[in-house]
Amino acid sequence: MTSRIVYEGGLRTTSTHLQSGSLIETDAPTDNQGKGERFSPTDMVGTSLAACMLTTMAIRARDMEDQLKGMNIEVEKIMASNPRRISRLNIIFHHPPGFTATEEQKRNLENIAMTCPVKQSIHPDIELDIRYNW
């Protein structure tokens, strides 16, 4: 098993990563009867995608790891109704100060990110707008 999730009441869950014991709490969002005091489960989809993209970049570009350190990503999740679902994820990569890369290295990083396992698992009906601010 990978994780165990417990319903805490009040539309909150606590997930435990069984190997490490680390915890993630989620709340229902305010637009769906929740408190919005934690990530919502649907927030975690976009967050997981961005984290996976950045992690695969770092795995493949170990020689650039110092330059990737500090890279940050903005994630915006757009919901649709009937049925309630994620309709769009906007993801913007921001390079850290001092980042330098050739055009070929940038293309390679973008290609690596676009083949990460979470990206490959996102339903094709979810529109993705992914931007890289090199």
Helix (H, G, I), strand (E, B) or coil at 128: strand
Is residue 65 over pLDDT 80? Answer: no
The mean pLDDT of 31-47, rounded to a whole number, is 96
| Architecture of the 40-133 domain | 2-Layer Sandwich (3.30)
pTM of the model: 0.92
Helix (H, G, I), strand (E, B) or coil at 6: strand
**Could you read off the pLDDT of 92-132 as tens digits, one per residue?**
999 998 889 999 999 999 999 999 999 999 999 999 999 99
Strands 12-17 and 3-9: antiparallel
Which residues fall within 8 angstroms of residue 10, CB to CB, at 6 or more apart? 27, 35
Q: Where are the domains of the chain?
A: 1-39, 40-133
How does the average pLDDT of the chain come out, rounded? 95
Residue 47 confidence (pLDDT): 98
